[in-house]
Structure 1
């Protein structure tokens, strides 16, 4: 690399400095000008606003100075722009998104703020404050911010956790149909207090929140998260009941009282079940079936996430429709999931408003379908207790495995998709699915000519393989050759990438590293994915190659498959985003003579490693110093000479020896001593 040219990590893909600073100032201003803080994550939001405000002063001073900036500062500013944009989106999500959904995701949202803070600290690692034309006060403030970001801790507001847990108790009380009336009914007073504490106070607040939750349910349904959809619908049901209590205005109450008084005068009972009474009674919209507009008696959830009365939606489906009446989107399956939470809340609302509860007829067409299907529908209901949840998963898994074994290709595709989702979360789910006999059928479906069926099958096996015992079952079912075939020539890129991830998961067991590496097409297929895959696919391929290369015999095969040039190219590709993974694999390949020889062929590799010593992540710096040290040993005088001639190498090594991780400091010291010996021969020691 020419010494006068800027480092590749700084030169490619960055906007002009003026545009960069203008963007930083604008996005920082948007964050700092947040007027209405959200009711949740207040501490995280206020902390981030304060930090961004301080950085905003830095950006303005740099802009006013109009001085040339060192490359590392440009890299830092680009990283900070990305971080502040993430912070802006996070704050907007907390402020404008669904309060209840954010409350349910308290730990996850807090983790996102924590990750943003850590990214800010890493970006400031490479900011050369001493070289910037800014005031001493600003330098001190930024330095303090840097230290705070580096040692900052995850902040989860215990009040948010308490609100979430208390609200979940109310949701479970509504959903627990088998409980006694006292336990099954919701304490609306307590629920409304919690909802008020997160900003839901008026009927408009409730309507807006219900709309946001419905949008979230549609989003989750679109990705197949059925259990999540059920839980969101439970929240919507609770909100609907609370909203009905909030909007119970005087006119509605007066109308009902008039009906009762007239009935008493005439010595008759009011016709509380008549449609005229229903018309004057203020039925919440969320309690009405979108098809019939009547009060729902047996609400169910369809695949789109919307709730309907069972009889109405059953007639719709049985008449040949395969779309959601409300959203118009195609239903990915026809299962009707009982919405016990909404049903319980409707019953509570009916009793409070003196409306008789009539159970639906048991003769609906859908209820006359097979009892096995009904068990499946009930199984994916809410999870109220561990045993009930496990029984539900077991029934669901057995039903779906039966469809894998005997169904048409369309049914097999849907069953594989449902198993893929069911195996996505929970070790118990993965164990139960395997015990139901899913693995052999999924392995068979890997050879399907249907792209989606193949993709669902390989992804389901990937999810199942996370369970340790399932790795043995998958290998025993003879899956490895078919998984490698999908990796090599799968029908979709997602199928190929998930096959690579499955190989990574399986090869965690040492014996399987040997088995996979012995297949002649496995390693070349992974190397091929390094060049062709998406960012996620390249990362899956790199991590799988790393796992396999832990077994010495496989290192040679990885080198012979042409991995080294691809990995070095990925280091220079900012958009690839897998620098640390590529470095880790290269550090392993250095351990065989073939790998060392191939790496030494690259003319750009040493200057690139020097740049990574300065700008890389902590892990990246460790692997960079490992590679440099390995290259300088065993006849690496030429590499040592290149390092000595590079004006950036010695300061970077000294900086790493002083401030790096324990492993990095040890290796930096060793490399400095080695370079010192080289200098001693020319009487020019390194100090």
Structure 2
């Protein structure tokens, strides 16, 4: 195989970039990836592959050697230290040609090692020994940071369930006293999504109160880890959103994350948590958010916002417009109809859907909304939306809106030509 590289700076002052070629010894090349092996391992057939490549091959359900097609007697992967050392020496010898030495790979964690540490977590949880539990969680964290393969191994051994049980136990005991171990567990849980059965324990009232307590932390990373888990939980089951909304102060905290952003990730996650909270039948949560001024805040923030934020914000506005207070807040804001109409066919299919649903909810109860919608070009937008295609519910609401708008069209209609430029572009 030929390896290409580029000289960084010719000595003769020539500004041209010179491409040169260097041949990699064939036995240094992984037969699967056809690239230089970084962590060569030998399997039961006697063939050697790069660990990442052969693991992916086996994870896809293959039981044979990729080269010999021989059925494997076991799935053991024995590190080929001699070959790896030869590859590293070759890299060093060719460093002048731009070849970088491959680092010595860490030995992947085994299921037995993970099980042993998880047993220690369970035992320390039973005794509420936070120091011992913290040491065990640090081991899991260290393994996870070393490689994606380690993370998969940890998750496969039900680490999420064990850690969730420990989190619930220590949170029930004392959040303040056990803050360190609780913070570390949340950090590790952030790369174990989806939570599966672990959500039952993380969704308990003590666990939720603990995560809300962490949202008040001065450490941004702690806030982010907590809001990420809350986002995951509330997206799994409406029950967790209702439990979360019942905790004193949480709505104010989430609102502040949107009003006074400290991190784009925290802001977006907060919007998703709010969306799942207001998707429940609990009118109290919606009323509290509307009273805080969330409708107006979101309308102003999405004018020039990027796609993912815009989708989340429009989703929340749509849900809040299901209530009388939410609609009244939108009626009182001069931006409501111009912004909602403008976002149709401008951001994404999902944003279009939320915009149409919100306009439909506002138009059902107030005649002046229909007039305002016509004046900002809603009729043409909706007509075009049906022509280019949209989902079933969106099409149904758009059609109904066209019928409601049609009687008011004479003398009121206005077309914003800017909205019809580049209409063929994809979402």
Q: Same fold (TM over 0.5)?
A: yes
1:97-496 alignment, distance < 5 Å: 163-164=32-33, 171-173=40-42, 238-242=83-87, 339=107, 380-381=108-109, 389=111, 391-399=112-120, 405=129, 407=131, 411=135, 414=138, 417-418=141-142, 425=152, 428-429=155-156, 431-435=158-162, 438-440=166-168, 443=171, 447-448=175-176, 455-463=183-191, 466-476=194-204, 478-487=206-215, 489-496=216-223
The equivalent of 1:652 in structure 2 is 381
The equivalent of 1:536 in structure 2 is 265
C-alpha displacement at 1:544, in angstroms?
Answer: 0.7
Quick check: 2:244–2:250 contact (8 Å CA) kept in 1?
yes
- Give me the whole-angstrom Cα distance separating, in 1, the residues matched to 2:104 and 2:114: 22
2:231 matches 1:501:
no
1:135-181 CA-to-partner distances (Å, cap 9, x unmatched) read: xxxxxxxxxxxxxxxxxxxxxxxxx9x8239999993317xxxx6xx
- Give me the whole-angstrom Cα distance separating, in 2, the residues matched to 1:442 and 1:652: 54
Bigger helix share = 1
- Give me the whole-angstrom Cα distance separating, in 1, the residues matched to 2:178 and 2:218: 8
Q: How many residues align?
A: 347
C-alpha displacement at 1:658, in angstroms?
Answer: 0.5
1:413-439 CA-to-partner distances (Å, cap 9, x unmatched) read: 835744876996578447235337533
Extract unaligned runs of 5+ from structure 1: 1-35, 40-98, 100-159, 195-230, 249-284, 288-304, 308-336, 340-379, 384-388
Distance change (3 Å), C-alpha of 1:467 and 1:235: farther
Distance change (3 Å), C-alpha of 1:247 and 1:629: closer
The equivalent of 1:14 in structure 2 is none
Larger deviation, residues 504-513 vs 396-405: 396-405
C-alpha displacement at 1:517, in angstroms?
Answer: 1.8
Could you say what secondary structure the match of 1:172 adopts? strand
Quick check: 1:420–1:456 contact (8 Å CA) kept in 2?
no
Distance change (3 Å), C-alpha of 1:540 and 1:425: farther
Quick check: 2:160–2:198 contact (8 Å CA) kept in 1?
no
Quick check: 1:579–1:620 contact (8 Å CA) kept in 2?
yes
C-alpha displacement at 1:467, in angstroms?
Answer: 2.3
Quick check: 1:427–1:467 contact (8 Å CA) kept in 2?
no
Could you say what secondary structure the match of 2:248 adopts? coil
Distance change (3 Å), C-alpha of 1:243 and 1:673: same
Quick check: 2:211–2:226 contact (8 Å CA) kept in 1?
yes
Distance change (3 Å), C-alpha of 1:512 and 1:426: farther
**Backbone CA RMSD of aligned residues:** 4.6
Quick check: 1:500–1:541 contact (8 Å CA) kept in 2?
yes
Question: Could you state the TM-score of these two structures normalised by the residue count of structure 2?
Answer: 0.66
- Give me the whole-angstrom Cα distance separating, in 2, the residues matched to 1:433 and 1:643: 49
Quick check: 1:434–1:470 contact (8 Å CA) kept in 2?
yes
2:397 matches 1:667:
yes
- Give me the whole-angstrom Cα distance separating, in 1, the residues matched to 2:304 and 2:379: 25
The equivalent of 2:21 in structure 1 is none
1:603-646 CA-to-partner distances (Å, cap 9, x unmatched) read: 112111222124221211111111112211112x2121112222
The equivalent of 1:628 in structure 2 is 359
Quick check: 2:171–2:178 contact (8 Å CA) kept in 1?
no
C-alpha displacement at 1:539, in angstroms?
Answer: 0.9
C-alpha displacement at 1:408, in angstroms?
Answer: 7.9
Quick check: 1:403–1:411 contact (8 Å CA) kept in 2?
no
The equivalent of 2:19 in structure 1 is none
Quick check: 2:320–2:326 contact (8 Å CA) kept in 1?
yes
C-alpha displacement at 1:580, in angstroms?
Answer: 0.6
C-alpha displacement at 1:245, in angstroms?
Answer: 8.2
Extract unaligned runs of 5+ from structure 2: 6-23, 25-29, 54-76, 94-99, 416-427
- Give me the whole-angstrom Cα distance separating, in 1, the residues matched to 2:201 and 2:194: 12
2:284 matches 1:547:
no
Distance change (3 Å), C-alpha of 1:577 and 1:511: closer
C-alpha displacement at 1:446, in angstroms?
Answer: 8.5
Between Structure 1 and Structure 2, whose CA radius of gyration is higher?
1
Distance change (3 Å), C-alpha of 1:683 and 1:455: closer
C-alpha displacement at 1:243, in angstroms?
Answer: 6.3
Q: Which among 487, 509, 515 is matched to residue 243 of structure 2?
A: 515
Distance change (3 Å), C-alpha of 1:683 and 1:533: closer
- Give me the whole-angstrom Cα distance separating, in 2, the residues matched to 1:419 and 1:445: 28
C-alpha displacement at 1:237, in angstroms?
Answer: 7.5
Distance change (3 Å), C-alpha of 1:467 and 1:164: same
C-alpha displacement at 1:512, in angstroms?
Answer: 2.2
Question: Could you state the TM-score of these two structures normalised by the residue count of structure 1?
Answer: 0.43
Could you say what secondary structure the match of 2:344 adopts? helix
Quick check: 1:526–1:541 contact (8 Å CA) kept in 2?
yes
Q: Which among 602, 611, 636 is matched to residue 342 of structure 2?
A: 611
